[in-house]
Amino acid sequence: MRQSQAFIPTLKEVPADADIVSHQLLLRAGFIRQTASGIYSFLPLGKKVLQHIEAIIREEMDATGANEMLMPALQPAELWHQTERWDAFGPELMRMKDRHDRSFALGATHEEVITSLVKDELNSYKKLPLTLYQIQTKYRDEKRPRFGLLRGREFVMKDAYSFHDSYESLDQAYELMYQAYSNIFSRLGLNFRAVIADSGAMGGKDTHEFMALSEVGEDVIAFSDTSSYAANIEMAPSMDQYTESQETMLPLDKLATPNQKTMQEVADFLGHSLEQGLKTLLFKIDQSFVLVVTRGDHEVNDIKLKHLYQASTVELATEEDATNLFHAGFGSLGPIHCSSDVEIIADYGVRYVRNATCGANEDGYHYVNVNPERDFKVTQFADLRFVKEGDPSPDGSGKLQFARGIEIGQVFKLGSFYAEKLGANFLNEQGKAKTLIMGCYGIGVSRTLAAIVEQYHDEKGMVWPKQLAPFQVHLLVMNSKKEDQVEVADHLYQALRAKGIDVLYDDRSERAGVKFADSDLIGIPIRITVGKRASEGYVECKIRENGEQSEHQQSEVIDHIQSLLV
């Protein structure tokens, strides 16, 4: 492609509203442009990289025996009513009406469509197992679309669905997909990790997320420093063995703590450690209020709350709720003498504190010498907190360390939730009708593209791995007014193309400095510069990744490039 004819609108300045590297570079290098919040166009370079990623995904999916297909983005509301997700999915589901006032959703995912499709076609065990997949645009009206392609409202996903006559068959497909995902992310060059994940509200059991390691990731991964254990921090159980304190229980007392609101402020004011305080948070779990107590140095893990109550929603109550129920603000809540309408649960760690401090349900006051069970009753002690770095690993081997990750994919044993709701049955060998068992497997294709940029860039721009780069070679003519240079560059362009090499040829009449800067920004792996020494038959080769430069005779440079590309 001649750059003079290409649509590659590069930007010199860092766009104001882009605060992570991948977003900035994809905009600056002319790979994407925003159309509306969380909605992007892929410009030609972005589209090419997307295609390269998709090709790798297709190869690995096809190798598992999965069949590619394409489903509609527009989905009738009735299907979502049947699975009760029309309401459950909440405001993230984009909804619309047609001219006949019939409701539709813009597909956020395709369990409903695919299950209702196979329901009519997959009627015998003989056709099982079957895996279908597509690469398609998804819509989710995210609360906070941000970070460019990482969290869009319209994004490209690869979604696959498998259908089985037994859980053993599902287990096999899951293993196969897990391996295919590992292959895909390895071939994409990503530094990634598969982690144990939360299966959420929609039935299902085993699930793993694939995380690209990155400081900008929204997820925290807890992994063992000595074994292969890795989990989303939401899912890591706390294995702490708390020991009973030998301290004698002192008489309960109430002290004035004017204007001391946070756990740290109260601890400093009263001169004790953070773990001596009892943190009391009011949650709304489905429709009920629950007071959750942890040690002051621990954080409540709302996913653990969700599992404990098998709830569909868990959220912090509002301060208004707290004031209504306790006549005190957030900073003064505590489990002593509180409304009997509110259940009190506590993390295991709370059981062993002695002579602790907690809010007195009266603004400006705290109780001291608080002893759980003596001074307040707890309905249930449970593991309710996030693990901390240095905690023992749940598999019994080593200590936990943390890393941040971007969720680029997820594999999921769905079970029969959707098949049951949609009445998707098959006839088994005995001719009996049975419910289909399903798995589903997603990859955020456009998010993965951004995750790759997060891992492959330097201060000058993107540094594409060769299997993904928009072009294999960037050919630059330094001075497009010099006929000898142009002649050599034109010749090289034709010769490279004749060898089947994908070349971006910067034949523009820009200054050399502009061309070099754009070239570094775009990040094509190999750069060939035709400059002053062209008249003597020499051109320069530079490797984007490590900056290595070498001079080559024009007659030899193609062989050299070919050797670099294998």
Instruction: Give the number of other Cβ atoms within 10 Å of residue 380's Cβ.
Output: 11
Site for ligand ATP in 155-214 (CB under 6 A): 155, 157
Q: Which is nearer to Mg ion, 197 or 291 (CB)?
A: 197
- Find the shortest distance in angstroms from Cβ 389 to ligand ATP: 22
Rg (CA), the chain: 29
Q: Which of 410, 416, 455, 529 binds Mg ion (CB under 5 A)?
A: 410
Q: Which is nearer to Mg ion, 108 or 370 (CB)?
A: 108
Site size for Mg ion (CB under 5 A): 1
Contact 233, 389 (CB under 8 A): no
Given ligand ATP, Mg ion, none, residue 409, with its beta carbon under 5 to 8 Å by kind, binds ligand ATP
Per CB under 6 A, 277 contacts ligand ATP: no
Site size for ligand ATP (CB under 6 A): 15
- Find the shortest distance in angstroms from Cβ 410 to Mg ion: 4
Q: Which stretch binds ligand ATP (CB under 6 A): 294-302, 311-319, 404-412, 526-534?
A: 404-412
Q: Which of 421, 447, 457, 542 binds ligand ATP (CB under 6 A)?
A: 447
Q: Which is nearer to ligand ATP, 187 or 497 (CB)?
A: 187
CA distance 507 to 5: 9
Q: Which of 349, 359, 405, 409 binds ligand ATP (CB under 6 A)?
A: 409
Contact 407, 213 (CB under 8 A): no
Per CB under 6 A, 152 contacts ligand ATP: yes
Q: Which is nearer to Mg ion, 202 or 436 (CB)?
A: 202
Q: Where are the alpha helices (DSSP H) in 213-366?
A: 263-270, 302-309, 319-326
CA distance 458 to 365: 53
Question: For Mg ion, which residue has the nearest CB?
Answer: 410
Instruction: Tell me how far the alpha carbon of residue 358 is from its chain's centroid.
Output: 37
For β-strands 32-36 and 39-42, DSSP reports them as antiparallel
CA distance 273 to 354: 12
Given Mg ion, ligand ATP, none, residue 140, with its beta carbon under 5 to 8 Å by kind, binds ligand ATP
Tell me the residue length of the chain: 566
For 296, what's the count of Cα atoms within 13 Å in the CB-facing half-sphere?
A: 23
Q: Which of 410, 435, 455, 529 binds ligand ATP (CB under 6 A)?
A: 410
- Find the shortest distance in angstroms from Cβ 153 to ligand ATP: 7
Given ligand ATP, Mg ion, none, residue 508, with its beta carbon under 5 to 8 Å by kind, binds none
Q: Which is nearer to ligand ATP, 195 or 488 (CB)?
A: 195
Q: Which stretch binds ligand ATP (CB under 6 A): 151-159, 176-184, 237-245, 557-565?
A: 151-159
Q: Which is nearer to ligand ATP, 141 or 363 (CB)?
A: 141
CA distance 488 to 477: 9
- Find the shortest distance in angstroms from Cβ 107 to ligand ATP: 12
Amino acid at 313: T
Contact 487, 494 (CB under 8 A): no
Q: What is the largest distance, in Å, between two alpha-carbon atoms of the chain?
A: 95
- Find the shortest distance in angstroms from Cβ 276 to ligand ATP: 36
Site for ligand ATP in 61-120 (CB under 6 A): 109
Buried b (16+ CB within 10 A) or exposed e, 402-420: ebbbbbbbbbbbbbbbbbe
Given Mg ion, ligand ATP, none, residue 142, with its beta carbon under 5 to 8 Å by kind, binds ligand ATP
Write each residue from 367 to 406 as x if it is in contact with Mg ion (CB under 5 A), else as -, in one continuous string.
Answer: ----------------------------------------
Per CB under 5 A, 232 contacts Mg ion: no
CA distances in angstroms from 220 to 19, 21, 239, 404, 407, listed in the order given: 20, 19, 18, 5, 10
- Find the shortest distance in angstroms from Cβ 159 to ligand ATP: 7
CA torsion sign, 383 to 389 to 391 to 392? positive
Q: Which of 164, 81, 133 is nearest to 436 (CA)?
A: 164
Q: Where are the alpha helices (DSSP H) in 216-329?
A: 263-270, 302-309, 319-326
Query: What backbone phi and psi angles, to 5 degrees, belong to 26?
Result: -65, -35
CA distance 483 to 283: 74
Q: Which is nearer to ligand ATP, 141 or 502 (CB)?
A: 141
- Find the shortest distance in angstroms from Cβ 219 to ligand ATP: 8
Chain residues in the site for ligand ATP (CB under 6 A): 109, 140, 142, 151-152, 155, 157, 407-410, 442, 444, 446-447
